[in-house]
Amino acid sequence: WKKWVDNRNSAGLQRLNTLTKTLMLRRTKEGLQEKGELKSLTEKKFDTIFINLDEDEQEAYEKLLNFSKELFSQFLHQKAEKENALTGVAVSSKPSRYLQTAENPFEKHPELARLHKQLKEINDVKSTDILVLLLRLRQFCCHPALIKKMLAKDEVSNAGIEDGDGLDLDMMEKLTRMSLNLGENQAVEDNKGTEKAVDALSHNNPLYADNRLSSKMRTVVKKLEEILESQDKILVVSQWVSLLDLIHGVLQAKKVKCVVLTGSVPVKDRPAIVDKFNRKGHGPRVMLLSLTAGGVGLNLVGGNHLLLLDLHWNPQLESQAFDRIYRVGQEKNVFIYKFVTSETIEERILNLQMKKLEIANNVLTGAKHTSKLSLDDLKMLFEIS
């Protein structure tokens, strides 16, 4: 198998393609429609909406990104040390590949020196730690308030974070709280600029208030209001229930009728919620749906607009959510909106999705090839060559 298929060249890919064709029957909507075996579906349109972070959001995001880059560089260095220990090859004493090719991100921010020192003292950075930081960056792009709360174990799993050695919860707690603890019990003297920099990462900053509309939330609410002027119904989809809760609060304040379907809703109660949403001319106009709860099995053709608030590593999971409204029984044209913050990790995830979808199409099914991040994927996300 390694020699003839998993050899990372075009011939191996072609052999895999031939093998999968003989073992599986691929039935797509488009293929069945061409054969006349499926009634023609309505039109489906995609729209990617790019959003710029507010100035204060951008400032805090860049600090989080610098922390993440530094820790990832340390992870690469430690990985190289472990790999070369067996061969006796010496590794450069410089711990950060990122800092060899870029300006030290902490030089201009002396108030961050304490955190920098703490990061350098971490002896064993695991892949899980890096993925948690990636998760925090992604959440920040949606709303800074999301990074205030400690991640539950199931949230980590749903976000696609996997580690063969299990989760290092002590490290996770340090990382998930680090961005908001910098201003705590820390003396800042004689420098108003430094004080402002600390405030950007303090939980006392209004930036992290639940009732503040982030740049992405403002754009989402504007699109919701635009669609609600028609008689169409809307699905709002996110990986994070905490983000759906924030949207729910805004809709309630605007007296918009909506229902919520997440993993916490008992299975026995879900059919009633679905029927309520699908009822023509009546019922709630908006359904707030978690990505994992709405992955398969739901028929939500009562809605024809879907707003995807955040991107997942696995584009196939998103496609399954799209199919909740784009399926037999849909009578209206379907509109899918993806919200992406510009010049952030979300843009790089979008590029990663395109690459994974291309691989999936080449081998007929991409389930196994899109669920995990490779080391090269991580380097691309952190912009480290």
**CA 183 to chain centroid:** 27
Residue 123 pLDDT level (bands cut at 50, 70, 90): low
Q: Does some domain include residue 104?
A: yes
Q: What are the E-state strand segments in 293-375?
A: 305-308, 334-341
Contact 306, 321 (CB under 8 A): yes
Q: Does some domain include residue 385?
A: no
Contact 325, 304 (CB under 8 A): yes
The overall pTM is greater than 0.85: no
Give the whole-angstrom CA distance, residue 307 versus residue 333: 15
Domain end: 175, 210, 245, which one?
210
Same domain, 194 and 310: no
Q: For residue 258, what are the β-bridge partners?
A: 286
Same domain, 223 and 366: yes
Domain end: 192, 210, 228, which one?
210
Residue 166 pLDDT level (bands cut at 50, 70, 90): very low
Give the whole-angstrom CA distance, residue 81 versus residue 125: 12
Same domain, 88 and 65: yes
Structural domain boundaries, residue 175? 55-210
Q: Does some domain include residue 6?
A: no
Q: Does some domain include residue 2?
A: no
**Sequence-separated (6 or more) residues with CB below 8 Å from residue 270:** 261, 298
Domain end: 148, 176, 210, which one?
210
Same domain, 34 and 179: no
- Average pLDDT of the segment spanning 251-265: 94
**Tally of structural domains, the chain:** 2
| Interval 140-155: pLDDT, tens | 999 999 987 533 334 4
Q: Does some domain include residue 356?
A: yes
| Residue that is written with structure tokens 């669920």 in the block | 371
Same domain, 190 and 99: yes
Q: Does some domain include residue 199?
A: yes
Tell me the CATH number at 47. 3.40.50.300
| Interval 343-358: pLDDT, tens | 999 999 998 888 877 7
Same domain, 197 and 244: no
Backbone angles phi, psi at 28, to 5 degrees: -100, 160
Same domain, 219 and 117: no
Q: Does some domain include residue 384?
A: no
Q: Does some domain include residue 59?
A: yes
Please tell me the predicted confidence (pLDDT) of residue 74: 82
Same domain, 191 and 220: no
Tokens of 233: 């119904």
Lowest-confidence range among 81-95, 237-251, 279-293? 81-95
Same domain, 202 and 288: no
Give the whole-angstrom CA distance, residue 331 versus residue 210: 38
- Average pLDDT of the segment spanning 19-37: 65
Same domain, 164 and 304: no
Contact 237, 286 (CB under 8 A): no
Same domain, 343 and 302: yes
Please tell me the predicted confidence (pLDDT) of residue 32: 62
Same domain, 129 and 151: yes
